[in-house]
Amino acid sequence: MPPLVLLHGIGTGPAGWRPQVEALGGGVLAPDLVPAYRRGWHAAVEETSALVAARAPVDVCGLSLGALLALTVAASRPQDVHRLVICAGFAELPRGLRARVRAIALAARVVPRGLLHAQLVADLPEPHRSRALAEIGSLRPREISRLMREAAGVRIEPARVVAPTRVLCGERDRANAPLARELADALPTATLKKVPGAGHVANLDEPAAFTALLVEFLARAD
């Protein structure tokens, strides 16, 4: 099985993948994307693309902003991505939601750092919340605002994502459920699965169920 790269969003750091890393053992890489996120969306894409290319072919799994990052890399470097797992992701935000995210991003610029970080990790179960706060501590409100604005405008052409794909969504993540369905319908080789009992951060809400769905998909023969 190819190496597995796990991409976190802005509400967790690499330790947010600890349940999956511990369950899967060797051959799993969960890079720290916070320094790249601080420099913006394009820096995150460039660094992740370089990491994937250096280890290609790889399986890639991303959550939330990490899911968008995974899709972007899979679309731009199809030769490097063997299989793809996307949780709480989208190929393009609808116009109304895109405008809402940009408005939230604008407001985030003036929110005190501690309060903004607390909002970002609010959906995490403990002890993961405390760990995430420590890992994202260097992210400044202006950096988070820029990253959100840039990511809101990303548009991915589904036909360019050729890797077999599993789209995941937490059973309780009602906000992302329509986007997950649209993504699964648009991608040429995608299947959609709900993570039972999980919310937005499905890999931490229900780690055993999430990992089982991940492993079952990645273990399939070509």
- Asked if residues 201 and 8 have their Cβ atoms less than 8 Å apart, the reply is no
Give long-range contacts, CB 8 A cutoff, 24+ apart: 173-180.
Answer: 173/88, 173/198, 173/199, 173/200, 173/202, 175/200, 176/88, 176/90, 176/200, 179/88, 179/89, 179/90, 179/93, 180/88, 180/89, 180/90
CA distance 111 to 88: 25
So what's the pLDDT on residue 127? 86
So what's the pLDDT on residue 222? 53
DSSP label at 64? T
CA distance 128 to 122: 10
So what's the pLDDT on residue 26? 84
| pTM exceeding the 0.85 threshold for the entire prediction | yes
Residue in the structure block whose two tokens are 């990052």: 69
So what's the pLDDT on residue 177? 96
Digits of tens for pLDDT over the chain (222 positions)?
899 999 999 999 999 999 999 999 889 999 999 999 999 999 999 999 999 999 999 999 999 999 999 999 999 999 999 999 999 999 999 999 999 999 999 999 999 999 999 999 999 998 899 999 999 999 999 999 999 999 999 999 999 999 999 999 999 999 999 999 999 999 999 999 999 999 999 999 999 999 999 999 999 855
Question: Rounded to an integer, what is the distance from CA 183 to the centroid of its chain?
Answer: 14
So what's the pLDDT on residue 25? 84
